Structure 1
Amino acid sequence: MSEEQNLRFKIASGEPEFEQIFRLNYKTFVEEIPQHPPNPEKRLVDRFHHENAYLIALDGDQLIGMMAVRDKRPFSLDEKLGNIDRYLPPGRRICEVRLLAVLPSHRNGMVFQGLLKLLLDHGLSQHYNLAVISGTVRQQKLYKHLGFVPFGPLVGAKEAQYQPMYLTLEEFQENARPILNVPSTADRALNPLSFLPGPVSIRPEIRAALDQLPVSHRCDKFKEEFAFIKTLLCQLVRAQRVEILLGSGTLANDVIAAQLSLMSGRGIILSNGEFGDRLVDHAGRFGLSFDALELDWGGVFDCEQVRSTLDRHRDAKWLWASACETSTGVLNDVEMLKELCAGRGIKLCLDCISLIGTVAVDLQGVYLASCVSGKGLGAFPGLSMVFYHHDVAPQPSRLPRYLDLGNCAAHQGIPFTHSSNLLSALQAALKRYDTQQPFAEIAELSDWVRPKLRELGFQILAPDAHASPAVITLALPGEISSQSIGDLLQAAGFLLSYQSEYLRRRNWIQICLMGDCSRQSLVALLTELRKVTGTGN
């Protein structure tokens, strides 16, 4: 592994990191640059410690570099020069950057570059558009190259002199781009950042897995890998069995509807959005007998609503619902549905198409559940799955061949031609789920970006307590067109979901955290959102 791959850049948190900051602060600003007197503890706590955000570089768990960012006035430069506003462009949101320090053993450019990237991301997230520093006179050439503008007289002792300087966000983004490898708008338009619910942004290792020579679905190698992928899928959701189909989620739900058509008796369908309505449509096309419990889009089913519905329809044999209502971002309470159905002997069926891969899922107690490769699992679209636990028999006289789950099971899941390439990509995607880390990453990104969106004035449709971490539906005010905003974002290289008819009709736009998403890409998106909507200025 290269040195660069070992490095991590983050906002400091926790006492172990702060203690290392105090000691690096001492090494740099007492021992190397004599700004403070020595002390026997060999640690230096900054006087603004509790107001600082520390941007740090770690090699493993060792602190190797840092800088501190603070936005509370007066700044240290205010104390040295008086109110510095007279030197600065007006109307700016200002922060002061201090305490830049890198261990001598790591002064090779990579740490400084990483800290600058983190500074840009942090500054954008906090809406800063101007930074002030005291730049060492020994590095004036570098600072000017980055776009810093000197102001006022030198500060500091004779042996450690500093030039006050400021840097605007625009200059930083423009001048630092070659150093930070920050894509321009033109570059991003050619390589857009995807926040779609599918197709999602694909990780490099998954792309590489797709780019292999195709293998016949009849050869032993294919069958072995196919069986292994089925095992990985079942382990992921605690299901006993799964069939992998060549088609979209609509196919998987049609297969579920086909299985329900073999049962006698009525069912119940829950709908609180577009994809609940589609389950109603699936059931209608198969001539199923059912009653529907429908809420306004964005509504949340509570236990009493569902219980009273089941009490009114005591002849119900099955219940079908979307676990994650993708149109609104609402997570329906799967555990509550499992408990209610189990107590009445009702077979629970779930559309898990936007759920699996984004949160931990337990399908024990679920009769049939649908999923796809190209959403939460982060692979390419084209494969869908139906999970189940029971024996299923072929139904040649009652079901079309392609919709017959029992026919798939009877042929070990391979009754027809399959795509070895799509399966290889899916297998590569599933490798990430050896731990709970993918779910934690999505939750962390979601928890970070939701308040940022609200700060910009956006209304998030799903209440936080019932929200998917991976689907954020924004209900825009009438004066802002989702179509226009979506088009502008797309032109700038950001792909959001807004073109579906049901979204256009309601003036909604969606940010989805599936596939290869990062804090850096979200920071860039928020910056562009502010620009195209004129919010948060």
Structure 2
Amino acid sequence: MSFTIKMARDKDEFDQIFDLNYETFVEEIPQHEQNDKKKLLDRFHAENQYIICKHDSEVIGMMAIRDIRPFSLDEKLGVIEEYLNFSFIKPCEVRLLAVKKTYRNGRVFTALTGGLIRYCLQKGHDIAFISGTTRQSKLYRHLGFQPFAHLVGKDEALFQPMYLTKRTFLTSDALQMISHVRSFLPGPVAIDKEVQTAFDQQPIWHRSEEHSNMVAAVKTKLKEMTNAKQVAILTGSGTLSNDAVAAHLAGLNSKGLILTNGEFGDRLVDHAERFQLTFDHISYDWGTSFLIEEIENKLMEGNYDWLWFVHCETSTGMLNDFKKIESLCKQYSVKLCVDAISSIGAVPLDLQHTYLATGVSGKAIGSYTGLSFVFYNSLENLSYPVPRYLDISYYEKCEGIPFSQSSNLFHALNVALDKFLDPSFIKERRSIFIQACEMFKDKGFHFVIDNQHSSPCVLTIAIPKELSSLAIGEDLYLNGFLVHYRNRYLIENNWIQIALMNANNDLKQLKSLIRVMEKLIIDQSFSISAYQ
């Protein structure tokens, strides 16, 4: 039997919650008085968030979560803190934990507990309190709940106060298995064990010969991977590396052209404006391919020194035509600048004719966030000095180590880059992407970008306007799938993104994800086939 975990949102789900509440806490556990409607509305209903378990359209299990003090346990015990010898910051209380009798085989309760842990982690709760019925004490303890204080309630309905802490979760393999999350984020990505092991070494002095050799090894691998002659490795995110590009372009004191068709192209414009660059801007609708003829006409008449664009526009998944734009820049003697942050490691990349290109250690490369790159082949002298931290040529003068650096980040990146020594790695990634596209299409899902123009690491799915991408993303997380859904531009467009940048993303995981997505959408009374 398969079921899904989700937040309760619609009238039918709340009606079933009232029914199950009555069935459990009136008829089975005599905690409340009977009534003719055979429904029980909780006194904190307006403040509750309900996690429910559904089999098809039937609510078979539930729990209510509330984080407003005083808790019901405060009312029964007095201030909870007085019973505990440790402190906490953001508690919540879990109540109305109920599973229909025919489904009490432990699986539903375990699934609800997994959903509870994920919910608490996402909301920042560091402890959850419950009043567990004494009939299920063994099960509660098995799942990590710790008893405290004395029993509460009436003789015919006794409850044991219990708690589950974030600290307990972090030290429990069983709880982590229950609440395991499979990541389909574009970053941060899941880290391979070998990369984790490399990162966990004791840090070494950044002026040591050992660190110098490590930096040289990483730079060599990055250059071989991209055909670039040089690379500067900065400590910071991709935003920093794009700031370094903008700072360098400002030092050229020349005019450029920026192409945009998504959120990250728009951010290049913001970088340029902050550094007061002189530039023109061609803007295309999100998810729309660049018009090469229009760009060529602009280059013919504009007397531009440089052109800047995003290769993989992560906001939609669009993979812009690098080769055609590179060819135009060669033809018109324009310096090519590329944001390759989401494409390096995702697709083969040849930067030997590129003036400046940026990348990061996370995303498709599969290492820890924290290092960013600026690739280049030769740099012109600048008309005035740029800030030291953004001065690409200064990194070259200092042999790649101008300032303090984290040896841990370099060790991890060095190991992560090894998989790209095998030319089949990117091909295998592309193969999984093609198969994933077919599986989603077979279920009627619609893509924002056709797979012929999409990055093989980003699937952007348009959710029907009658539904909420935010709600579906939240419910997928409760079921153990972390997709990209909370960014402003995704919410505004009602999109969900499935990123395949994690090395452990495989077809088995994707099939499970698609099954849950399909059930969640159908559960919201909307047939996927209606928008095929």
TM over 0.5: yes
Point out the more displaced range, 203-212 or 239-248: 203-212
Amino acid of the structure 1 residue aligned with 2:238: G
The correspondence for 2:404, drawn from 417, 429, 446, is: 417
Q: CA deviation at 1:309?
A: 2.0
User: Is residue 465 of structure 1 aligned with residue 452 of structure 2?
Assistant: yes
Spell out the pairing of 1:28-107 with structure 2 (5 A cutoff): none
Is the CA contact (8 Å cut-off) linking 1:471 and 1:513 kept in structure 2?
yes
The correspondence for 2:442, drawn from 440, 443, 455, is: 455
Q: CA deviation at 1:367?
A: 0.3
Is the CA contact (8 Å cut-off) linking 1:189 and 1:490 kept in structure 2?
no
Spell out the pairing of 1:127-526 with structure 2 (5 A cutoff): 190-313=179-302, 315-391=303-379, 398-516=385-503, 517-526=505-514
Give per-residue Cα distances to partners, 1:118-177, cap 9 Å, x unaligned. xxxxxxxxxxxxxxxxxxxxxxxxxxxxxxxxxxxxxxxxxxxxxxxxxxxx9xxx8xx9
Q: CA deviation at 1:194?
A: 0.6
* Mapped partners of 1:309, 1:454: distance in 2: 38
Give per-residue Cα distances to partners, 1:488-510, cap 9 Å, x unaligned. 01111111111111111111110
Is the CA contact (8 Å cut-off) linking 1:392 and 1:409 kept in structure 2?
no
Q: CA deviation at 1:296?
A: 0.3
Amino acid of the structure 2 residue aligned with 1:200: V
Amino acid of the structure 2 residue aligned with 1:448: Q
Give per-residue Cα distances to partners, 1:248-295, cap 9 Å, x unaligned. 000000000011001133110000000000000000000001111110
Give per-residue Cα distances to partners, 1:451-470, cap 9 Å, x unaligned. 22122222101122211110
Q: CA deviation at 1:434?
A: 1.0
* Mapped partners of 2:429, 2:177: distance in 1: 23
User: What secondary structure sits across from 1:486 in the alignment?
Assistant: helix
* Mapped partners of 1:291, 1:254: distance in 2: 18
Is the CA contact (8 Å cut-off) linking 1:189 and 1:491 kept in structure 2?
no
Give per-residue Cα distances to partners, 1:313-369, cap 9 Å, x unaligned. 1x1110000001000101111110111000111000000000000111100111000
What TM-score, normalized to structure 1? Answer: 0.64
Relative to structure 1, the CA distance from residue 345 to residue 439 in structure 2 (aligned partners, 3 Å threshold; closer, same or farther) is same
* Mapped partners of 2:362, 2:397: distance in 1: 26
Is the CA contact (8 Å cut-off) linking 2:248 and 2:382 kept in structure 1?
no
User: What secondary structure sits across from 1:423 in the alignment?
Assistant: helix
Is the CA contact (8 Å cut-off) linking 2:445 and 2:528 kept in structure 1?
no
User: What secondary structure sits across from 1:465 in the alignment?
Assistant: coil
Q: CA deviation at 1:187?
A: 5.5
What TM-score, normalized to structure 2? Answer: 0.64
Is the CA contact (8 Å cut-off) linking 1:372 and 1:384 kept in structure 2?
yes
Is the CA contact (8 Å cut-off) linking 2:251 and 2:382 kept in structure 1?
no
Amino acid of the structure 2 residue aligned with 1:366: T
User: What secondary structure sits across from 1:261 in the alignment?
Assistant: helix
* Mapped partners of 1:476, 1:230: distance in 2: 41
* Mapped partners of 1:301, 1:369: distance in 2: 19
* Mapped partners of 2:493, 2:394: distance in 1: 41
* Mapped partners of 1:457, 1:312: distance in 2: 45
Amino acid of the structure 2 residue aligned with 1:485: I
Q: CA deviation at 1:442?
A: 1.3
User: What secondary structure sits across from 2:364 in the alignment?
Assistant: coil
Amino acid of the structure 1 residue aligned with 2:266: D
* Residue-pair matches, total: 357
Is the CA contact (8 Å cut-off) linking 2:247 and 2:275 kept in structure 1?
yes
Matched with 2:61 is: none
Unaligned runs of 5+ in 1: 1-169, 178-183
Is the CA contact (8 Å cut-off) linking 1:188 and 1:492 kept in structure 2?
no
User: What secondary structure sits across from 2:305 in the alignment?
Assistant: strand
User: What secondary structure sits across from 1:386 in the alignment?
Assistant: strand
Amino acid of the structure 2 residue aligned with 1:239: A
* Mapped partners of 1:286, 1:391: distance in 2: 19
Give per-residue Cα distances to partners, 1:30-57, cap 9 Å, x unaligned. xxxxxxxxxxxxxxxxxxxxxxxxxxxx
* Mapped partners of 2:518, 2:274: distance in 1: 44
Matched with 2:39 is: none
* CA RMSD after TM alignment: 2.3
Query: What is the identity percentage for the equivalent residue pairs of Structure 1 and Structure 2?
Result: 42
User: What secondary structure sits across from 1:281 in the alignment?
Assistant: helix
Is the CA contact (8 Å cut-off) linking 1:323 and 1:333 kept in structure 2?
yes
